[in-house]
Amino acid sequence: MRQQQIEADSAGQRLDNYLLKILKGVPKTRIYRGLRKGEFRINKGRVKADYRLVEGDILRIPPLHQPAPSAAPMIPGFWAAQIAQRIVHEDPGLLVINKPSGLAVHGGSGLNYGLIECLRQLRPEDRFLELVHRLDRDTSGLIMVARKPAVLRELHRQLRGEGVDKRYLALVAGRWPKERRIVEAPLQKNIVQSGERMVKVDREGKSAVTGFSIVEQFADATLVEARPITGRTHQIRVHAQFAGHPILGDSKYSDDQAETLARSIGLKRLFLHARSLRFSLPEQPPLQLEAALDDDLEFILKNLRK
């Protein structure tokens, strides 16, 4: 049996989420069973899983088998250098990174590391670093990483509403029609036989809405700004495909014509970039952050203009 005092950074967090974070390796079912049986106590009293922690609370933790932590993965120097150079904003509660294409946001699915593991090794003095939201591995651009639990909770609250304005640039196949400003189509996650995660439009899926506007027209392609009003997996990519204009360089949601066009202009990656974020945190002025397109994507646009 051990006791742990709750610090200010964890105040307001749900008890079950806090336990899942500090008891790495303990099965989730074991933690929730202990909560139901009253094995975890706050200030000597029984509490439910959704209890919100208060600074100074004394948490009693029963004896549990917790596997020894595995060694942290070695982060290649290339990615470490890239991330260190691409910090767009930093304050006591938040980091905003211009994530490079090709780097996953976290390890898993055969990957030993991602952006968050890289940051934790680069910044060991940061006791708390958690992703606020996600970007696909091949998508570049702005991503938020919380340095305090309270900031994470506040930004999650805003993301569930309309408190965070996110804008993306995408190069799509064909000429996007000016009148098509909204794509609204429900999305359903699906696993194909190869084990690759895919998403498809399905009336049984979750509601999904994306706003699109034309930034620049080319002969066979269009640079568009995409604003995800909801936050579903692969939303912009699938909605662009559903509209008949797949994003160029997209190996999952494309067609033969778009793939041929991407090869002809020398595009070797997904042309999707999270270019701007606008939001505000309590007692701070509003933040408007932007990240310019990477050089390889700017090179593609320059060639198209010629």
SS3 of residue 11 by DSSP: coil
3-state SS of 14-34 is EHHHHHHHHCCCCCHHHHHHH
| Strand residue runs (E) in the chain | 2-5, 41-42, 45-46, 58-61, 87-91, 94-99, 130-131, 140-146, 165-173, 182-184, 187-191, 197-201, 209-217, 221-228, 272-279, 287-290
What's the one-letter identity of residue 81? A
User: In CATH terms, are 2-61 and 77-158 the same topology?
Assistant: no
The answer to whether the pTM exceeds 0.85 is: no
Instruction: Please state which of the four CATH numbers 3.10.290.10, 3.30.70.20, 2.60.40.1120, 3.40.50.620 is assigned to the domain occupying 2-61.
Output: 3.10.290.10
Q: Angle at the Cα of 87 (from 96 to 13), degrees rounded to 5?
A: 35
Instruction: In whole angstroms, give the CA distance from residue 175 to residue 177.
Output: 6
- Catalytic residue among 136, 165, 202, 256, which? 136
CATH classification (class only), 77-158: alpha beta
Decide if 215 contacts 156 (C-beta within 8 A): no
Per-residue pLDDT of the chain (306 residues; tens, 9 = 90+): 889 899 877 888 899 999 988 888 888 999 999 999 999 999 999 999 999 999 899 999 998 877 666 555 667 777 888 898 999 999 999 999 999 999 999 876 556 788 998 898 888 899 899 999 999 999 999 999 999 988 998 999 999 888 899 999 999 999 999 999 999 999 998 867 566 778 999 999 999 999 999 999 999 999 999 999 999 999 999 999 999 999 999 999 999 999 999 999 999 999 999 999 999 998 889 999 999 999 999 999 999 998
> What is residue 10's DSSP assignment?
G
Is 162-305 assigned to CATH 3.40.50.410? Answer: no
- What does the domain layout of the chain look like in residue ranges? 2-61, 77-158, 162-305
Instruction: In whole angstroms, give the CA distance from residue 238 to residue 179.
Output: 19
Catalytic site residue 294?
no
Matching residue, tokens 């007692």: 283
